[in-house]
Structure 1
Amino acid sequence: MKKVRIAILLLTLCVVLAACGQAAPPAAVGGGSSSSAGTLKGETLSTGTVTVCRIVDGAETGELLLAELNGAENGVYLLTVGNLPVTVDGQSSDAKDLTDGMTVEVEHSGAVLESYPAQFAQVMSLRAQTPENGSYTDLCGLWLKVLDDLWSTDPGLNGMEGGGTVPYVGVDLSAAPGDLTETEKAAVVWQFGRLHGAQALTGTFDELAEQGYIDREKLFWKDGVLFSITADEQGETADASLPTLTFDAQKWRGGDGAYFFSDCVCVWPERGTWTEYSIGSEAIS
């Protein structure tokens, strides 16, 4: 009888020890702005790293300039679509169906080349989503258009005395209307400089003067031009029933060298993007 009890005790002890030796299940891995959680509507969860971005420019060529949403100011990327698998609203598609202003999920290996703009080392797919009713704003495209129009107006302000154009352009979007993120602003500034062969600098007049670019005493920027867009809170619109942006824009080379777009109005149509705008008046100094 005693032998039976001993055998039962030994068997019980073995079971307990076996249970204690089992490993606990692995903890879930997550965190960070580039995760596989939070996919766009209509899409399935990804097995790779996913970074959510806005197409700032380049959809028409397939050479995308992207701004990471909810990312730091350096979350700006270049991506060539090429033969990447592309879906739009969950349907198989290709690069020609992408549009500036779309939100996209870039599925990649997680490695990023630390250039500026950065580049994803290995992209697996691109998933785009059009907002409900197709109504996204593409504010980045609007501000790029305004800046480009200013560049083309009074082009003498962009030139150097010995020939050629200024090597620097400063861009101040700190008071521009709309809801651009700091990353989107950074992407707009970089693209504007690239389009005109100049090094783009982000900053206000005071910031660029403190950094030694602008001569504050002489009120002159010898080798650069400062572009700025500011909200015009007093602006009036012809159709108050539609979302409207009112703003002023200027480029400044010095106290006697500047050009102004004043009382500008951009009305968002019921479908489409912020692309066309009107200028109330223009001035030069």
Structure 2
Amino acid sequence: MRKKKLTVLIFVSLAFLLTACGRQGSGKETAVEEPLKIETEAGNTRKEETQTPSDGTEKPAPGTDMQEQEGKVRETDAGDDEVKGRFEIFEVTQEGLLACGMDNAYPGLCRIGHGNILENQDGETIGLSALVPGMIVELTWNGGVEESYPAQFTYSALKLTGESGNPEFLLYLQLLQDLAKTDPGLNEGITESYFDFTSVASLSEGEKEGLAYLGGTYFGGFGSQSTQEELAAQGILDREKGIENGILVTIEELSNQNGKVTCNAEKYRSGTGAYYFHDVTAEYKNGKWKYEIGAEMIS
């Protein structure tokens, strides 16, 4: 009897152990992840281990670039693209150009160093002697601009466009040079040159800015635009004493038709220190201006 009970007990124990082993082998209660397979450039298959932290998110494999995953641009790629823009030339020297940007590439007055590539409209190489004030050119550069006044950069390539700015710019540029040379004693001791071009309808705002800047180099002192009323409001101009350390130059455009201009020009230090070009008549022929002064007056 004892032997039968012992035999039954052994049989039940064996059956229980076989059932437990069967459950573990079915794979329903535990799961084993297969390693991630990645194709290499050579076409070989290598295994890359993944790590799964306790929060359930998967970490990238060692050596993965997080910046590339987030779509960030590398610093070395910034500024690689070149920029193109149209500029009107106001002055040409061996060192560079004074020009004004005409579009969103860089609007404003700029001192621009020369680059190595200068071409005409057909892509043929030209020299610096082919550049003259009034031309509109297309410049290519790396996009960097030094934030000074005027702004500064160096072009890598220059190409002529065949376009030109307003020809009246050249007339008034010559008029300022001649007015500065006349009675030069009025220019002595000044540190600021002010220019009133409010009645000059033929010039763009950029051309007026360039004219004032260059005018400052002719009269002495920094050149900027202002009116008599503005200078008086700022306390720079005294109605009785005039401008102590500056000069106000005014151009009044009276008419402009069919290449013929009539204007007045004046430089003013005080009521007893001024010089006038009155009733100036100018004519534009064959790309050049010729003008005559109706009367010159001094006070």
Q: TM-score with structure 1 length normalisation?
A: 0.69
In 2, are the aligned partners of 1:130 and 1:136 still within 8 Å (CA)?
Answer: no
Partner of 1:107: 140
For the 8 Å contact 2:180–2:218, the answer to whether it is kept is no
2:192 paired residue number: 168
Are the aligned partners of 1:72 and 1:183 in contact in 2 as well (CA < 8 Å)?
no
Is the 8 Å Cα contact of residues 245 and 267 (structure 1) preserved in structure 2?
A: yes
Shift of the alpha carbon at 1:85? 0.4
Aligned to 1:228: 250
For 2:105 and 2:197, the matched residues in 1 are separated by 16
CA distance in 2, matches of 1:136, 1:206: 30
- Cα displacement (A) at 1:77: 0.6
RMSD after superposition: 2.4
* C-alpha distance 212-143 of structure 1, shift in aligned 2 (>3 A): same
| Structure 1: gaps (5+ residues) | 1-46, 160-164
Matched letter for residue 287 of structure 2: G
Aligned position for 1:126:
158
Task: Specify the alignment match of 1:20 in structure 2.
Answer: none
Quote how far apart the aligned CAs of 1:149 are: 1.1
The structure with the largest strand share of the pair is 2
Task: Report the residue type matching 2:148 in the other structure.
Answer: S
| Aligned partner of 1:187 among 207, 210, 215 | 210
How far does residue 247 in structure 1 lie from its aligned partner after superposition? Answer: 0.7
**Distance in 2 between the 1:227 and 1:173 partners?**
9
Q: How many residues matched?
A: 218
Note closer, same or farther for the CA distance 1:211–1:73 as it changes in structure 2 (3 Å cut): farther
Q: Structure 1 pair 72/181, CA: closer, same or farther in 2 (3 Å)?
A: farther
Partner amino acid, structure 1, of 2:149: Y
Query: Cα–Cα, structure 1 residues 183 and 170, in superposed 2: closer, same or farther, change >3 Å?
Result: same
Other-structure match for 1:91: 123
Pairwise CA distance, 1:80: 2.5
Query: In the superposition, relative to structure 1, how do residues 70 and 124 fare at CA in structure 2: closer, same or farther (>3 Å)?
Result: closer
Percent of pairs with identical residues: 31
Counterparts of 2:227 and 2:106 in 1: how far apart (Å)?
A: 16
Whether the aligned pair in 1 keeps the contact of 2:173 and 2:215 (CA below 8 Å) is yes
Q: Deviation digits for residues 222-246 of structure 1, max 9, x if unmatched?
A: 111100101124x9xxxx7x42111
1:278 is aligned to 292
Runs of 5+ unmatched residues, structure 2 = 1-80
Q: Deviations over 1:2-54 (max 9, x none)?
A: xxxxxxxxxxxxxxxxxxxxxxxxxxxxxxxxxxxxxxxxxxxxx73112110
The CA deviation at 1:198 is: 0.6
Corresponding residue for residue 264 of structure 1:
280
Q: How does 1:58-69 map to 2 (within 5 A)?
A: 58=92, 61=94, 63-69=96-102
The counterpart of 2:268, out of the listed 228, 243, 252, is: 252
CA gap 1:48/1:90 in 2 versus in 1, 3 angstroms: farther
Q: What is the alpha-carbon distance in structure 2 between the residues aligned to residue 278 and residue 272 of structure 1?
A: 17
Q: Is the 1:53–1:104 Cα contact (8 Å) retained in structure 2?
A: yes
TM superposition shift of 1:100: 1.0
Q: In structure 2, what is the equivalent of residue 10 of structure 1? A: none
TM-score (norm 2): 0.66
- The equivalent of 2:184 in structure 1 is 155
The aligned counterpart of 1:205 is 228
Measured against aligned partners, the alpha-carbon deviations of 1:197-224 in whole angstroms (never above 9, x if no partner) come to 41223101011111221113x2511111
Instruction: Tell me the alpha carbon deviations over residues 175-208 of structure 1, each in whole angstroms, 9 at most, x when there is no partner.
Output: 1241x22122112211221344412231010111
Maintained 8 Å contact 2:278/2:293: yes
After TM superposition, give the deviation of residue 84 of structure 1 in Å. 2.1
Conservation of the 8 A alpha-carbon contact between 1:244 and 1:268:
yes
Q: Distance in 2 between matches of 1:280 and 1:190?
A: 27
- Please give the alpha-carbon distance, in whole angstroms, between the structure 2 residues aligned to 1:229 and 1:144: 11
